[in-house]
Structure 1
């Protein structure tokens, strides 16, 4: 933005735009470089005329925003007069008047359809930083909104921040963008003009600026949906950092443009099909830009590209329904490549982008990629949030132009930006913020995960590809993500390190009473800055912690006999063996109405086992004769013992909470045992004495309600657990 960052215009080596031949083919894309120098440096007119340098800007603004009235034009005139007078005498490194820079930036935004407030702030965006104009003066003359935008893009001084000036400037800019995305729109246009005029910089400075543009500005342009700026920035960075590869790619594009384009023939066939079907549509060839061609080359492994590979067909229609009508004709009259079909109208991208994508082959076997969208979708695809105007305006101000219908999408707080603002507040220093910002923006694809938390907590969360359950916990619960004790992915219990896939359903098991912090191993699973910064901060604040969950540090609880619920009852089961005592086996603890059988053991006692007990199987296989056993009618005063197992996610106070839940059912515990935790999971075993066998179901439901418990079931003993008295 400052004179130090801005350089001379029009260096031929960085003219990475399309050739004249390309521009003549089909739809002319928004070519933001072709703004004549005469429009910027034209002479002044008479007293009642606008300065010649701003006439082109006014003309473009009126064309893109027909509703801009005399008041808007007068506002731009005053902003230009203030900018020109305050920058007078300042020059760029090229020797040009400095005013050419804010004018060029404003023209870029005007071409994209920015509204008057954005253009006013763009004209003034360097005044507070580089001149004697104050922010208070800007607010007094142009209002709070313009002053906010100017302040948002004003850089912090190196004299105050040193090496942290650049990352802290971006932090400041992102915070401002959180309230008004027009701040970042101005910054992107500013960087585009500076990248266009990078030639007089030292090579090392060119490389540094290009790398920051690649790592930060281009991903931000993508996320804000400003495709026109993103594409040109990509080509400029490509030319700066990889000049030889860029030159080879440009040579291929020029060679292709010099010969007949097979896509033009496919476009003619498609026009005829749509005309016959009565569908009003514009069909044009949309050439690929240099980086797009280069990526396709890499995808094909360096194989020679075909004639249809250098562009795509763009079909624009009036209404959403027309898009699907065009798709039907495409797939009926041509051979569809099914694997290439994507519906971004029903499921828009996170950056507001909407289109149908498909690929078809004609009778000659030429395969053409086709984009289908409405005219409004096209404007949003090219200009992103810039096309949506003032994010704080009412629905009336945001109505689509040219009488089109459409639903306005509020870009003020897109999900990715809200997440970014959340974690950046926790970044302890500029280096951490700068590194985390680059890592976050490097995630060029997102996945959508459906959260099943019950009630208002359910919904969707967008995460970068490769994110896991730990990332999701912090994305949903912020700093309270520490309390996550486990997860279910698609209904099944899964480790916290599980990587999520697009469309997964996730249930986060949270413990509101948890006092322990995250395990240090969580850092191995987390990839999002929000999660990594929160975990690192906690570990830094608790240096004495081992990084292990508290339950891992708790030794196993050995079986401890506890007082029974009451005195032994009369026998609860009866057998026809004369004078035989009946005892319920401790290995499977049967209770009515379990199916049971008996075996005579030492002393003539009949041991009663559940029929599915492994001991029953073993003794039958050994030739032991089973004896019939029946449950006694009526309910004795105690004596129904059962063993229940609770599988849970390890956490502090789990044993106490389960014991309390059991006691709350007026059930006594005969013994309890806890196995050592394994990967955050722990198994609790309780032998209880029931006042009534029907109390078992209520007991198991009460145990399942304890936070962290994910399954409760009757004991299923192994063969080795056979009753020793036998």
Structure 2
């Protein structure tokens, strides 16, 4: 099963190798002859019906009648409109619908495909579509209808994609139609100016091809890749095309290996179909970049199709017994499917003549259908949703609503502007692999490969992750920057909101998901000076500093309304002797008098600000402590427990690599009362292996 179709208008663009294609000009001539009577289907749509019945032989007369009525409406409403190629416009929705019919799309998708440009380009309204064809068709047509540039200007394209993705979240058939629409437009792109070809090809490369990959529609994805390759890399495409043509003139070594495989499987009494599957242009180019000079077997792969899952492993056993396997090439995507529904066994064997290595794909016929058509082969998502139990963690069990799409729909709401959405979408789609991690409290999180604990925090808690102070991975306390692996168990540690904690700009260096990056950037923009307190608002409860007076050469000057921030380099607490310095944003940073930063400020000629502690009820404070210890198992857990017993919250914790058997732990802690500090330090010193606990002195920037 394939999405192959007639070659593009531009003869320089690639033609899919395989069986011959329907000529769209013939469809155009049929369309110009006008619609048929009510008793039979129009000639132009007969090819669509034929392809549809090949996948849905039980299609009802009512469904076929809906196709006829949709074609009649589309043809009459587009009549007189021409494409840039000179063909009647109706040939475009016909071609898009034929692509989807060949992939096995159900009738509702095909009806919407025929009508997908009517609301955008003709006088037909959504209400008319709803009245004549129902709510589902109306929803699909609306989902793929572009937003007007006159209303949105330069934001029209990204906002149109945002609209389509939101619609896809409720019905994946929206994106199926869009992908087929883009494929036909790419096939006929040769009539456009070169600069417009390049622009459309880049958007196709960055957005549409990754979406086709994630939705598992390989038949569309591979042809789109070839078309983009020809436009953006014409020289490399020409070399690849020449290599393929040269190889096709000689004998195919895969034919002999395929015959040997058929014989082996017949002897093993395994019913199987063995096919030679030529690589498409981009695939050949990638193999050439990886291996250098290509051999005959590199231009294709063997595809073995069987009836049952167990037969796949039976085939694998026979191949590895009767041929020499290339162990490094084996992958089991049946036991562990890809996140885009793809399932197959991959292996490679050396031919019996010892000269050629053949890559082999082994899958069932159903797996092959899904591998080619992806979500298109899954049919109506509403019918599936009605027949399935909801997932225990609230995630839709419907496979047409995968985890990556749910994440995308979540973060797109927080994207502050079209440019942020557009760039974040490309970043999201550039991730080509997913991992699953387990939440300590139950349930799972789907994340892109390379995601850190920070990404997991925002995926689980949304903006509540601003208060994240640490994480446990597989029951071990780790840094927030820790990169997660597939199957890890993650527990996110949060400070109470009243603690006044917030993300650090450094978090952006470790955040991979758009959801985390957008949320962190939003918080940093709203808090340019970080968490701060003032005498009037005191957002950090319990520890305030009189705000205060600025010493100048002529007189003492009040700084009314100045916000106060406790310096992270020395974390002063009462009754420390303190001094302050005015920084940007009408903020005063407060340091302990003995802090090295005070000397650097004085050397730079920065005048101090007089500050003093103010007695308040329930005074909380923040302090950084360093524990020096001998390395031993469970030391970190014991220290954390000692701190918790004292009723102190851990804001952040770092553990330096052991040196000569000694380890340094640094904790930033939130104390409910500064008077508890001496007792806390004594409790930490009592932990076995700890030989010193002291107030931390960090190197502070001169501009603090």
**TM-score of Structure 1 vs Structure 2, range by shorter chain:** 0.7 to 0.9
Q: In the alignment, which residue of structure 2 is the partner of 1:531? A: 516
Please report how far the alpha carbon of residue 559 of structure 1 lies from its aligned counterpart in structure 2 after TM superposition: 11
Q: What residue is the counterpart of 1:605 in the other structure? A: none
Describe the SS at the equivalent of 1:392: helix
Q: Which residue of 2 is the match for residue 640 of structure 1?
A: none
1:349 matched to 2:355? The reply is: no
Answering whether residue 2 of structure 2 is matched by residue 11 of structure 1, we say no
- For residue 617 of structure 1, what is the aligned residue in structure 2? none
Q: How far did residue 280 of structure 1 move? A: 0.3
Alpha-carbon contact 2:7-2:15 (below 8 Å) kept: no
Tell me the equivalent position of 1:37: 25
Partner of 1:476: 460
1:49 aligns to what?
40
Alpha-carbon displacement from aligned partner over 1:379-432 (angstroms, at most 9, x marks no partner): 00000000000000148999xxxxxxxxx9723320000001111000000000
Q: 2:685·2:692 contact (CA, 8 Å) conserved in 1?
A: no
SS of 2:505's equivalent in the other structure is: coil
Asked if 1:545 corresponds to 2:530, the answer is: yes
Q: Distance in 2 between matches of 1:427 and 1:17?
A: 39
Indicate conservation of the 8 Å contact 2:648/2:670, yes or no.
Answer: no
Match of 2:428 in 1: 440
Is 1:121–2:112 an aligned residue pair?
Answer: yes
Farther off after superposition, 365-374 or 231-240: 365-374
Q: For residues 160 and 530 of structure 1, do their structure 2 counterparts lie closer, same or farther at Cα, with a shift above 3 Å needed?
A: same
Shift of 1:504: 3.5
CA positional deviation for 1:719: 9.5
Does residue 271 (structure 1) correspond to residue 256 (structure 2)? The answer is no
Per-residue CA deviation, residues 33-55 of structure 1 (Å, 9 max, x unaligned), is 54553245324556633221111
Q: Is the 8 A contact 1:489 1:507 kept in 2?
A: yes
Q: Distance in 2 between matches of 1:357 and 1:63?
A: 29
Which residue does 2:134 correspond to in 1? 143
* Post-superposition offset of 1:481: 1.8
CA distance in 1, matches of 2:474, 2:296: 45
2:438 corresponds to 1:451 = yes
Q: Is contact 1:181–1:411 with CA below 8 Å preserved after alignment? A: no
User: Could you say what the CA RMSD is over the residues aligned between the two structures, in angstroms?
Assistant: 3.4
CA drift at 1:190: 0.3
TM-superposed CA distance for 1:210, in Å, is: 0.3
Q: Does 234-243 or 549-558 show the bigger shift?
A: 549-558
Distance across 2 between alignment mates of 1:77 and 1:272: 48
Task: For residue 116 of structure 1, report the CA deviation from its aligned partner.
Answer: 0.4
Match of 2:373 in 1: 383
Name the count of aligned residue pairs: 571
SS of corresponding position for 2:530: coil
1:364 maps to which of 345, 353, 357: 353
Counterpart Cα distance in 2 of 1:246 and 1:286: 20
Query: What is aligned with 1:581?
Result: none
Cα separation, 2, equivalents of 1:413 and 1:78: 30
Q: Hey, what's the Cα distance between the residues in 2 that align with 1:497 and 1:547? A: 24
**CA pair 535-271 structure 1, distance change in 2 beyond 3 A:** same
1:287 pairs, out of 273, 278, 282, with 278
* Aligned with 2:310 (options 301, 310, 321): 321
Q: Is the 8 A contact 2:187 2:227 kept in 1?
A: yes
Question: Does the 8 Å CA contact 2:639/2:687 hold for their aligned counterparts?
Answer: no
Deviations 1:169-200 (A, max 9, x none): 00000000000000000000000000000011
- How far, CA to CA, are the matches of 2:310 and 2:567 in structure 1? 57
1:492 pairs with 461, 467, 476, which one?
Answer: 476
Does residue 167 in structure 1 map to residue 155 in structure 2?
no
Aligned to 2:590: none
Q: CA deviation at 1:547?
A: 9.5
Unmatched segments (≥5 aa) in structure 2: 1-5, 389-395, 534-564, 577-628, 630-635, 650-663, 695-704
Contact 2:384/2:398, CA 8 A, preserved across alignment: no
Distance in 1, matches of 2:424 and 2:380, equals: 30
Question: In the alignment, which residue of structure 2 is the partner of 1:226?
Answer: 217
**Judging changes above 3 Å, is the alpha-carbon distance between structure 1 residues 93 and 453 closer, same or farther for their aligned structure 2 residues?**
same
Residue 410 of structure 1 corresponds to 398
Q: Deviations over 1:342-377 (max 9, x none)?
A: 111111111000111111113222211111100000
Q: Is the 8 A contact 2:648 2:669 kept in 1?
A: no
Do the aligned residues in 2 keep the contact of 1:341 with 1:357 (CA within 8 Å)?
Answer: yes
Q: Does the 8 Å CA contact 2:147/2:159 hold for their aligned counterparts?
A: yes
What secondary structure is seen at the aligned counterpart in 1 of 2:382? Answer: coil
- After superposition, residues 681-700 of structure 1 pair within 5 angstroms as none
Deviations 1:430-486 (A, max 9, x none): 00000100111111222x2423423x3x43x33223222211211222222223211
In structure 2, the residue corresponding to 1:48 is in which secondary structure? coil
What displacement does 1:553 show?
7.1
| Cα distance change on mapping 1:152 and 1:80 into 2, 3 Å | same
Cα distance between partner residues in 1 of 2:261 and 2:574: 77
Given the superposition, is the C-alpha separation of residues 479 and 412 from structure 1 closer, same or farther in structure 2, using an over 3 Å criterion?
Answer: farther
- Matches of 1:278 and 1:191 in 2, distance apart? 44
Q: Is 1:308 aligned with 2:324?
A: no
Question: What SS class does the counterpart of residue 714 from structure 1 fall into?
Answer: coil
The answer as to whether partners of 2:147 and 2:160 remain within 8 angstroms in 1 is yes
1:76 is aligned to 67
Q: Distance in 2 between matches of 1:211 and 1:286?
A: 28
1:314 match: secondary structure: strand
3-state SS in 1 of match to 2:381: coil
Judge which range, 492-501 or 53-62, deviates more: 492-501
Is the contact between residue 519 and residue 547 of structure 1 (CA under 8 Å) also seen in structure 2? no
Q: Offset of 1:95 from its aligned partner?
A: 1.8
**Which position in structure 1 is the counterpart of 2:77?**
86
Mapping for residues 193-232 of structure 1, pairs under 5 Å = 193-232=184-223
1:128 Cα offset (Å)? 0.4
Between the aligned partners of 2:677 and 2:269, the Cα distance in structure 1 is: 73
C-alpha displacement of 1:545: 2.0
Sort the Cα spacing of 1:120 and 1:214 in 2 relative to 1 into closer, same or farther, 3 A. Answer: same
Cα 1:504–1:547 shift into 2, 3 Å: farther
Task: Supply the distance in 1 between the matched residues of 2:128 and 2:681 (Cα, whole angstroms).
Answer: 81
CA distance in 2, matches of 1:713, 1:473: 33
**Distance between the aligned counterparts of 1:498 and 1:388, measured in 2?**
37
| Map of 1:572 onto structure 2 | none
> Cα 1:134–1:266, aligned 2, differ >3 Å: closer, same or farther?
same
**TM-score, length-scaled by structure 1:** 0.73
Q: Which residue of 2 aligns with 1:590?
A: none
1:64 alignment partner, one of 55, 69, 72: 55
Q: So what's the TM-score if we normalise by structure 2?
A: 0.75
The Cα offsets for residues 198-249 of structure 1, whole Å up to 9 and x where unpaired, read as 0111111110000000000000000000000000000000001111110110
Alignment partner of 1:105 is 2:103:
no
- Which residue pairs with 1:555 in the alignment? 571
The change in CA–CA distance for 1:396 and 1:324 in structure 2 (over 3 A counts) is farther
Partner of 1:577: none
In the aligned structure 2, how far is the partner of 1:9 from the partner of 1:375? 27
Deviation at 1:546, TM superposition (A): 6.0
Deviates more, 1:359-368 or 1:525-534: 359-368
Match of 1:420 in 2: 408
The answer to whether the 8 Å contact 1:266/1:362 transfers is: yes
Deviation (angstroms), 1:330: 1.1
Q: Which moved more, 1:486-495 or 1:326-335?
A: 486-495
Deviates more, 1:528-537 or 1:462-471: 462-471
